[in-house]
Structure 1
Amino acid sequence: MEQVLARLRAAAEATRLRLLAICAECELTVSEITQIIGQSQPRVSRHLKLLCEAGLLVRFREGTWVFYRTPHNSAGADLVRPILDLLPMDDETLSLDRARLDQVKVQREQIATEYFRANAKDWDRIRSLHVDEAVVEKALLDAVGNLAGGRILDVGTGTGRILELLGRTAEEGVGVDMSREMLAVARARLQRADLSNCLVRQADMYQLPYPGGMFDTVILHQVLHFAEKPEAAIDEASRVLAPGGRLVVVDFASHDREELREEHAHRRLGFDDTAISTWFRACELAPDDVISLPGKPLTVRIWSAKADMETAKQKTHKAAE
Structure 2
Amino acid sequence: MSIESVRPPTDIPFPEALAMLRAAAEESRLRILALLAEGELSVSDLTDILGQSQPRISRHLKLLVEAGLVERHREGAWAFFRLREGGFGLVEPLIAGLERGRPPLSEDRARLEAVRAQRAEAAQSFFARLAPKWDRLRSLHAPEATVEAAVVDLLGARPIQNLVDLGTGTGRMLTLLAPHAARATGLDSSHAMLSVARANLERAGLSRVDLRQGDIHAPPFGRGSFDLVVVHQVLHYLDDPARALREACRLVAPGGRLLVVDFAPHEIEALRETQAHRRLGFAAEQIANWLEEAGLGPVAHRDIAPADGTEHPLTVTLWLAEDRRVRSDAQPPERAVA
TM range (shorter): over 0.9
- What does residue 184 of structure 1 align with? 195
- Is the contact between residue 148 and residue 166 of structure 1 (CA under 8 Å) also seen in structure 2? no
**Counterpart in the other structure of 1:175:** 186
Residue deviations 1:265-302 (CA, integer Å, cap 9, x gap): 11100000111010011011111231000114100000
5+ unaligned residues in a row in structure 1: which ranges? Answer: none
Correspondence 1:218 to 2:234: no
Give the aligned partner of residue 28 of structure 1: 41
TM-score by length of 2: 0.90
Structure with greater contact order relative to length (CA < 8 Å, sep ≥ 6): 2
Partner of 2:140: 129
Match of 2:65 in 1: 52
Q: Gaps (5+ residues) in structure 2?
A: 1-13
Residue pairs, 1:1-80, within 5 angstroms: 1-71=14-84, 73-74=85-86, 76-80=87-91
Task: Judge conservation of contact 1:30–1:67 (CA < 8 Å) in 2.
Answer: yes
Of the three residues 316, 323, 331, the one matched with 1:300 is 316
**Which residue in 2 is equivalent to 1:276?**
287
How far residue 44 of structure 1 moved from its aligned partner, in angstroms, is: 1.0
- Please give the root-mean-square deviation of Cα atoms over the aligned residues, in Å: 1.7
The amino acid that maps onto 1:69 is: R
Contact 1:70 1:80 in 2 (8 A): no
Q: What amino acid is the match of 2:16?
A: Q
Asked if the contact 1:242/1:312 (under 8 Å) is kept, the reply is no
> Which residue pairs with 2:11 in the alignment?
none
Moved more, 211-220 or 80-89: 80-89
Contact 1:167 1:197 in 2 (8 A): no
Aligned-pair CA distance for 1:86: 3.4
Q: Take 2:111 and 2:18, find their aligned partners in 1: how far apart are those partners? A: 31
Within 1, Cα distance between the matches of 2:134 and 2:82?
Answer: 31
Q: Is the 8 A contact 2:225 2:333 kept in 1?
A: no
Moved more, 268-277 or 140-149: 140-149
CA contact (8 A) 1:213 1:312 kept: no
- Amino acid across the alignment from 2:318: I
Report the alpha carbon displacement of residue 90 of structure 1 after superposing the two structures with TM: 3.1
TM-score normalised by length of structure 1 = 0.95
Q: Structure 1 residues 135 and 66, CA, compared in 2 at 3 Å: closer, same or farther?
A: same
1:81 CA drift (Å): 2.3
Q: Take 1:6 and 1:319, find their aligned partners in 2: how far apart are those partners?
A: 27
Cα–Cα, structure 1 residues 318 and 62, in superposed 2: closer, same or farther, change >3 Å? closer
User: Following the alignment from structure 1 to structure 2, what is the Cα–Cα distance between the partners of residues 81 and 220?
Assistant: 34
Partner of 1:112: 123
Asked if 1 retains the 8 angstrom alpha-carbon contact of 2:187 and 2:211, the reply is yes
Find the residue that maps to 2:142 and give its secondary structure. coil
In structure 1, what residue type is equivalent to 2:200? R
1:279 aligns to what SS in structure 2? Answer: helix
**1:108 counterpart SS class:** helix
With 288-297 and 129-138 compared, the bigger mean Cα shift is at: 288-297
Aligned amino acid, residue 268 of structure 2: R
What percent identity do the matched residue pairs reach? 48
- In 2: Cα distance, 1:78 partner to 1:214 partner: 21
1:112 Cα offset (Å): 1.1
> Which residue number in structure 2 is paired with residue 251 of structure 1?
262
The alignment covers a number of residue pairs equal to 317
Q: 1:4 to 1:319 in 2, by over 3 A?
A: closer
Residue in 2 that maps onto 1:157: 168
Quote how far apart the aligned CAs of 1:23 are. 1.4
User: Which structure is higher in helix share?
Assistant: 1
How far is the alpha carbon of 1:145 from its aligned partner? 2.1
Are residues 319 and 190 of structure 1, via their aligned partners in 2, closer, same or farther at CA, if it must alter by over 3 Å?
closer
